[in-house]
Amino acid sequence: MSKSVTAPKLEDVVADMATDIIKQAAAGDPITLGDAMNKARHVARKVVTDGRIAPALEPVKWWRSHAIVGALNAGAGALVAALPTLTPVIVDLASPEQVKWWNAAVTLTGVVWGVVGAAVSVGGRVNTTRPIG
């Protein structure tokens, strides 16, 4: 079952709850304003606890949020891309040509990692259906 709250799903739940209230009102006494408010609160409580809606309102753990995980990966990618400029190169262990290619590979890896992380973060934010808890 999808955890997202869609307009048709919400309409169905509210219609079901409102039908119950209308049936109760039609069966008996006139309703005062206070009774109407209490019934409205009761309907709201039933809507948010209904099995069709409640899963979408449950918070997701922060480490399962695509927006947060993507942002963390974008930051990690930026750090990896900056690594060649932040660390001293030991030229004795490799030729200058090997160092140049290694630095380019590390930078490219970091940039790709950061772009993918940013894309995951934006996708997570755009498609979010639940709060972070």
Contact 104, 131 (CB under 8 A): no
Start-to-end CA distance of the chain, whole Å, equals: 21
- At 74 the three-state DSSP class reads helix
- 76 domain-assigned: yes
Contact 21, 39 (CB under 8 A): yes
Contact 31, 39 (CB under 8 A): yes
Single residue among 57, 74, 96 that ends a domain in this structure:
57
Structural domain total, the chain: 2
Considering the domain architecture, whether residues 74 and 43 belong to the same structural domain is answered as no
Contact 47, 92 (CB under 8 A): no
Considering the domain architecture, whether residues 48 and 102 belong to the same structural domain is answered as no
Residue 22's domain comprises 7-57
List pLDDT tens digits, range 46-99.
Answer: 877 888 778 877 888 888 899 999 999 999 999 999 888 876 655 556 677 877
Q: Whole-prediction pTM value?
A: 0.60
